[in-house]
Chains A and B, each alone.
Chain A
Amino acid sequence: DIQMTQSPSSLSASVGDRVSITCRTSQSIATYLNWYQQKPGKAPKLLIYAASSLQSGVPSRFSGSGSGTDFTLTISSLQPEDFATYYCQQSYSTLTFGGGTRVEIK
């Protein structure tokens, strides 16, 4: 299986901050990488697919980049509704998720 490591596991930030979350895979997955947002008690929501494609209806402050083994999710200006946990997920082989990054209010 492809191992996925997200960093940091949690972070504290303020409204308006630029936030970046990293996902590293144990082998190259080209751009077969998706990002999801999950709020407490809710189902995950697709934000980014194919490493950098913004899902319809997702605000443009979210962006994704990377290829191979290193990927980044960036929130350009953190909004109150963005405090949540973020997961990366690879679809290159047997589906696996990263461990999650919790974004908290500073």
Chain B
Amino acid sequence: QVQLQESGPGLVKPSETLSLTCTVSGGSISSHYWSWIRQPPGKGLEWVGNLYNSGRTNYNPTLKSRVTISVDTSVNQFSLKLNSVTAADTAVYYCARALWIDYYYMDVWGQGTTVTVSS
């Protein structure tokens, strides 16, 4: 079955760019939709953005000016870039597969990766 694995630096300096990758195994990245979700320490879940199989993206309006999600189908990976980070971007970042058959929901999640923004 499909499995997801996040990877990337665990520590990012303020004002720099956070870069994470999600590797998809057990299925083709071109066949589904994909999401990034984050969770600050001790807090709830926040949707970051989506990548559709057409290549179109959709971002959380509160992050839209700083976020880019892209895909590399040759290696079955999709990526998240968040620029100009501050301490408020410290969180566990999850990638997830989304299904959109009349309804949109996230049925497979990666284990998450912790990113700390600190100098």
User: What separation, in Å, do the CA atoms of A62 and B106 have in the docked complex?
Assistant: 18
Nearest-CB residue, chain A, relative to B112: A43
A/B pair count, beta carbons within 8 Å: 60
Secondary structure call for the A interface = loop
Within the complex, the shortest CB–CB distance from A30 to chain B, in Å, comes to 10
Q: How large is the interface on B (under 10, 10 to 19, 20 to 34, 35 or more residues)?
A: 20 to 34
Q: A43-B110, A43-B112 are in contact. Are A96 and B47 (CB under 8 A)?
A: yes
Task: Say yes or no: B103 contacts A97, CB within 8 Å.
Answer: no
Question: Using a CB–CB distance below 8 Å, which chain A residues touch chain B?
Answer: 1, 31-32, 34, 36, 38, 42-46, 49-50, 53, 55, 87, 89, 91, 94-100
Residues of chain B with a CB closer than 8 A to A1's CB: 61
Nearest-CB residue, chain A, relative to B59: A94
Q: Are B107 and A46 in contact (CB under 8 A)?
A: yes
Known A43-B94, A43-B112, A94-B60; contact A50-B102, beta-carbon cutoff 8 A: yes
For B45, the chain A residues whose CB sits under 8 A away are: 36, 38, 44, 87, 89, 97, 100
